[in-house]
């Protein structure tokens, strides 16, 4: 039979009862003849609770010690999961990230996996065990504990599946797949049976919380099929994430909503070409600095005004980074004493599909759907796979509903097989 990696997220292991349910899923697959490795997250809100404990001690916890603290959440789960599997009559062995041979770069908090040496996992398979691996963590070559950042357990699972030569990686969560919109907010959303890596990458990067977008990129690079499934509906096959040749093509596959955006508009004054070039060089410095700090800027627009001595730079970042970006702006020279506005009350609504640049009728229809209901649009960015709009937060959910209904996404998904 096949080799499978199963990952169970925080909601899937939030209680002892949930852990038992996850163990039943793993044992069932093993009894069917599969070699099964599991990757688990910390229970429920454990990571947030550990962060809160650290913040009770200090407002600026040491990065090394914080990673040491946060890694204990997954260590609890791997032990409990192993016990639950053993209680069902199957052998299991727990592995921390380091014991599993997961080596990362020398960075705390958002480390990247450099390599996996899976000899310990292979030995566990040879003994007939189910290896239970702690997600979200690894060690450096110097044996320092590191964490991979939010959603890092997904990355652990996909990376491990690739190294182990697994047939697929199953991501178990609290929803039964990927939907045309968040089913927890929009009851009419429909589940998609199959998606391409590229579409899932855009959905994950713009607010869909079923899988971490870094892990989708890793799956695409390694061509590892991924299934998004529900721990609580284990017989449901969920949504398969695979290559775009195999996946059906939807004109629009989904709409995402992200209310954690901050919008910056910077007006830079310049009286001659020399000053204008200085401003452009400063913009380059700004985005270089944001990249160094792992602050991603999603929507970016530079506007020059004819016959006016100024340019406008508009971009978005996650709301949590807004104050840091303001400090960076104040420290950059050659911006010419800019005027800037920050708005933290905007939401990003993103429409995901394929070849949107060749389907202008879709873009036009989105504008029509929103302007007819007088929903203001602050900024727009379009690409071949995504159209994103910034709208005021009070209008955000209504905007998603209008677009979802306008394109009939509440009906069974219509698609055709791509020939590309």
Q: What pTM, to 2 d.p., does this model score?
A: 0.88
Residues 6+ apart with CB under 8 A from 3: 34, 35, 36, 37, 125, 164, 165, 166, 167
- State the pLDDT at residue 390: 94
Give residue-wise pLDDT tens across range 280-306. Answer: 777 888 888 888 887 888 888 887 666
Q: How far is CA 112 from CA 84, 106, 152, 214, in A?
A: 30, 9, 9, 10
User: What SS3 string covers the chain?
Assistant: CCEEEEEECHHHHCCHHHHHHHHHHHHHHHHCCCEEEEEECCCCCHHHHHHHHHHHHCCCCCHHHHHHHHHHHHHHHHHHHHHHHHHCCCCEEEECCCCCCEEECCCCCCCCEEEECCHHHHHHHHCCCEEEEECCEEECCCCCEEECCCCHHHHHHHHHHHHHCCCEEEEEECCCCEECCCCCCCCCCCEECEEEHHHHHHHHHCCCCCCCHHHHHHHHHHCCCEEEEECCCCCCCCEEEECCCCCEECCCCEEEEEEEEEEEEEEEECCCHHHHHHHHHHHHHHHHHHHHCCCCCCCEEEEECCCCCEEEEEEEEEHHHHHHHHHHHHHCCCCCCCEEEEEEEEEEEEEECCCHHHCHHHHHHHHHHHHCCCCCCCEEEECCCEEEEEEEHHHHHHHHHHHHHHCCCCCCCCCEECCC
Give residue-wise pLDDT tens across range 119-128. Answer: 999 999 999 9
Inter-residue contact 374 to 354 (CB < 8 Å): no
Q: Among 164, 96, 93, 79, which Cα is nearest to 129's?
A: 93
Inter-residue contact 26 to 56 (CB < 8 Å): no
Give dist(CA 127, CA 30) in Å, integer.
Answer: 13
* Rg, Å, the chain Cα set: 23
- State the pLDDT at residue 37: 98
Give dist(CA 116, CA 313) in Å, integer.
Answer: 42
Rounded to 5°, the CA angle 207-293-44 comes to 45
- State the pLDDT at residue 418: 36
Q: What is the fold, at CATH topology level, of the domain defined by 259-345?
A: Alpha-Beta Plaits (3.30.70)
Placement of tokens 């925080």 in the chain:
10
Where are the chain's structural domains?
3-245, 259-345, 347-406
Give dist(CA 391, CA 414) in Å, integer.
Answer: 28
- State the pLDDT at residue 414: 55
Q: Which residues pair with 349 in a beta bridge?
A: 257, 389
Q: For residue 253, how many other CB atoms are within 10 A of its CB?
A: 27
Write the class of the CATH domain 347-406.
Answer: alpha beta
Q: What is the fold, at CATH topology level, of the domain defined by 3-245?
A: Carbamate kinase (3.40.1160)
Pairing of strands 239-242, 194-196: parallel
Low-confidence ranges of the chain (pLDDT < 70): 269-272, 275-276, 279, 304-309, 333-338, 412-420
- State the pLDDT at residue 420: 27
- State the pLDDT at residue 307: 63
- State the pLDDT at residue 416: 41
- State the pLDDT at residue 417: 39
Rounded to 5°, the CA angle 233-238-240 comes to 155
Instruction: Report residue 241: phi and psi, to 5°.
Output: -105, 120
- State the pLDDT at residue 305: 65
Give residue-wise pLDDT tens across range 334-366. Answer: 665 667 789 999 999 999 998 888 888 888 999
Q: Is there a common fold for 3-245 and 347-406?
A: no
């Amino acid at each position: 039979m096949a080799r499978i990696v199963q990952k169970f997220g925080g909601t899937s292991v939030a209680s002892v009862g949930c852990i038992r349910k996850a163990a039943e899923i793993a044992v069932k697959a093993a009894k069917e003849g599969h070699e099964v490795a599991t990757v688990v997250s910390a229970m429920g809100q454990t990571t947030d609770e550990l962060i809160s404990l650290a913040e009770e001690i200090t407002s600026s916890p040491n990065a090394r010690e914080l990673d040491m603290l946060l890694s204990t959440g997954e260590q609890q789960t791997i032990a409990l999961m192993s016990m639950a599997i053993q209680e069902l009559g199957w052998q299991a062995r727990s592995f921390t990230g380091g014991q599993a041979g997961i080596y990362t770069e020398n960075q705390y908090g958002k480390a990247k996996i450099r390599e996996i040496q899976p000899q310990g996992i292979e030995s566990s398979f040879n003994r007939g065990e189910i290896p239970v691996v702690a997600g979200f963590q690894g060690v450096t070559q110097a044996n320092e504990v590191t964490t991979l950042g939010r959603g890092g357990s997904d990355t652990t699972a996909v990376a491990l599946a690739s190294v182990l030569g697994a047939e697929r990686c199953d991501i178990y969560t609290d929803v039964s797949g990927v939907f045309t919109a968040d089913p927890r907010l929009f009851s009419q959303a429909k589940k998609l049976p199959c998606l391409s890596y590229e579409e899932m990458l855009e959905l994950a990067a713009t607010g869909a919380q079923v899988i971490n977008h870094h892990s989708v990129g890793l799956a695409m690079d390694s061509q590892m099929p991924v299934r998004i499934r529900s721990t609580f509906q284990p017989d449901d096959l969920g949504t398969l994430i695979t290559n775009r040749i195999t996946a059906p093509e939807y004109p629009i596959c989904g709409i995402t909503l992200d209310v954690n955006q901050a919008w910056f508009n910077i007006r830079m004054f310049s009286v001659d070409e020399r000053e204008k070039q200085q401003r452009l060089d400063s913009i380059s410095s700004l985005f270089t600095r944001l990249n160094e700090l792992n602050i991603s800027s999603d929507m970016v627009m530079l506007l020059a005004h004819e016959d006016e001595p100024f340019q406008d730079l508009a971009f978005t970042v996650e709301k949590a980074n807004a104050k840091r970006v303001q400090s960076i702006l104040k420290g950059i020279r050659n911006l010419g004493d800019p005027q800037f506005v920050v708005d933290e009350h905007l939401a990003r609504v993103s429409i995901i599909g394929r070849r949107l640049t060749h389907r202008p009728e879709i873009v036009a229809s989105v504008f029509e759907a929103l302007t007819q209901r007088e929903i203001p649009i602050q900024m727009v960015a379009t690409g071949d796979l995504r159209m994103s709009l910034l709208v005021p937060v009070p209008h955000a959910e209504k905007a998603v509903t209008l677009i979802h209904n306008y394109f009939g996404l509440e009906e069974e998904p219509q698609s055709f097989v791509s020939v590309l």
